[in-house]
Amino acid sequence: MAKLDPNRSECAFTDFKAPYDRDQAVMEANRCLYCHDAPCVTACPTSIEIPEFIRKISTGNVRGAARTIFDANIHGMSCARVCPVEVLCVGACVHNLQHVPPIQIGKLQRYATDIAYAQRWQFFEAGAATGTSVGLVGAGPASLACAHELRRLGHACTIYEKRAVPGGLDTTGVAPYKMRADQSLDEVEWIMGIGGIELRTGVEVGSRPSWAELQAQHDALFLGFGLGVDTPLSIPGEELAGVWGAVEFIERLKLGKVAVSTVRNAVVVGGGNTAIDAVRELLGLGARTVTMLYRGTEAKMSGYGHEWEAALVEGARALWQALPVAVLGRDRVEGLRCLRVDDDKRPVQGTEFELEADLVLVAIGQAKLGELVAGLPGVGVERGRILVDGEGRTGNAKIWAGGDCTNGGMEVVNASAEGKRAARSIHAALKGGEKGTQGHG
């Protein structure tokens, strides 16, 4: 697997949530009510049997706890760190209704999965070979979860990845105070530990190999190539040095180095989770002031409230209901010209003001890559997203898809769930297909 620079910028960060030691984990586990049909399970896209794994932690059966987690979600380690548990499992904990602190499910999951990684416990074996082969495009969580499940069912898998490093946004996009790139690569290795998953990096599917070649080589395809480049502001001056797409900038700080310590006034444009991550990362890397510039109100931002609260604690500033109309500067960015916007997000003429900025990150969305599949008959695309049904099936009977390229950009846990679900569907289809494997699979 690719080597990472040990001095890359993200290494400046430490965990924002301290891990549990055994005593803390057992004490927290013992608070769990062990609900039946638990709301936390319903809230988890991968339906981890949360009360069960927590009970196992409380009895000292950590190996069993990890098995329960990974059996439902092979990304259990990264999800424990990066899931927005506040709006998923922890948010659904019944303790909230009693105004009692909810169970720290993410931290308990991290406790069990970290031990599993440290102990190198392996829980899964590849199924008996079915003789069928599946090609997966993109090496992010969706494809990895799909491939792992397919291997448990006995299908051969080849993953095609454009980048040098696998793991998708888990590797290149996760806020480093939640998980570092090396931990994501550990996870990829852990998942691939089931054996029989071939990973080809540096491959641009569509040209080499072509879609036709890929279809010829595999009995089924899974598309999990995520999203494309940052959406530009499309305003004058955007080409100036010091103006970055936020996703691109984050990838650079995750895998390489960015110089932020001399930044006096950083501005992040956008109001989503990528924008908040970028704000917190810039603050963590030493930018003196970091301002989020968002055309909506605080109440309407799409980023999670708990993340924004954390950013405020760390010193974030915000300019609500404002819109950049030009990037100012000679050789590099020196400021932004902005307009106020009204409650319907429409610019109000005559409200122009200028904002000093020596670094601008643009976090207003990412390109949808639907056009990539133009050459694939039957695969429907709507507003850049690949259309799939509840099992991840596209309109082409041999092609499935999942993750951000279908859902438009959600959490790792959604991608993992969609990948696994598609694997089940692929398996069902292949069993009944030309190379039928009834009696073997």
Partner 1 sequence: MVDLSTNCGGIRSPNPFWLASAPPANSGPQIQRAFDHGWGGAVWKTLGTPIQNVSSRFGGVDYRGLKNIGFNNIELITDRPLESNFREIYETKKKYPKHAVIVSLMVETREQWQDIIKRAIDAGADGLELNFGCPHGMCERGMGSAVGQEPKVNQEITSWAVEYSTVPVLVKLTPNVANIVPHGLAAQRGGAHGVSLINTIKSIIGVDIDRFVPQPFVAGRSTNGGYCGAAVRPIALHMVAALAREPEFRIPISGIGGVTNWRDAVEFMLLGASSVQVCTEVMLRGYRIVEDMIEGLTDYMRDKGFSKLDDMIGKAVPNFTEWGELDLNFETVAKIDANACIGCHLCVVACDDGAHQCIHPAKDSRVPVVDEAECVGCNLCQIVCPVPGCITMAPVDNGFAPATWNDHVHDGKPLRPKKAAH
What are the residues binding partner 1 (CB under 8 A)? 26-27, 29-31, 33-39, 58, 94-95, 97-98
CB of 94 to partner 1, least distance (A): 4
Q: Where are the alpha helices (DSSP H) in 238-314?
A: 246-255, 273-284, 305-313
CB of 401 to partner 1, least distance (A): 32
Question: Which residues are within 8 A (CB) of 439 and not within 5 positions of it... i.e. 6 or more apart?
Answer: none
CB of 17 to partner 1, least distance (A): 22
CB of 58 to partner 1, least distance (A): 7
Of 89 and 405, the one with the shorter C-beta distance to partner 1 is 89
Of 11 and 35, the one with the shorter C-beta distance to partner 1 is 35
- Tell me 172's DSSP state: H
Of 27 and 428, the one with the shorter C-beta distance to partner 1 is 27
Of 14 and 98, the one with the shorter C-beta distance to partner 1 is 98
Phi, psi of 218 (to 5 degrees): -125, 155
CB of 63 to partner 1, least distance (A): 16
Cβ contacts of 130-133, under 8 Å, gap ≥ 24: 130/154, 130/155, 130/430, 130/431, 130/435, 130/437, 130/440, 130/441, 131/435, 131/437, 131/440, 132/156, 132/219, 132/220, 132/430, 132/433, 132/435, 132/437, 133/157, 133/158, 133/217, 133/218, 133/219
CB of 35 to partner 1, least distance (A): 4
Strand partners, 439: none
Of 30 and 122, the one with the shorter C-beta distance to partner 1 is 30
Of 39 and 296, the one with the shorter C-beta distance to partner 1 is 39
CB of 33 to partner 1, least distance (A): 5
Contact 422, 392 (CB under 8 A): yes
Look-up of token digits 């797409």 = 245
Of 26 and 367, the one with the shorter C-beta distance to partner 1 is 26
CB of 60 to partner 1, least distance (A): 10
Structure-derived torsion over alpha carbons of residues 316, 317, 323, 327, reported in degrees to the nearest 10: -80
Angle between helix 105-119 and helix 62-72 axes, rounded to 10 deg:
100
In 3D space, the residue among 59, 51, 47 whose CA is nearest the CA of residue 105 turns out to be 51
Of 21 and 239, the one with the shorter C-beta distance to partner 1 is 21
Q: How many whole angstroms separate alpha carbon 93 and alpha carbon 83? A: 15
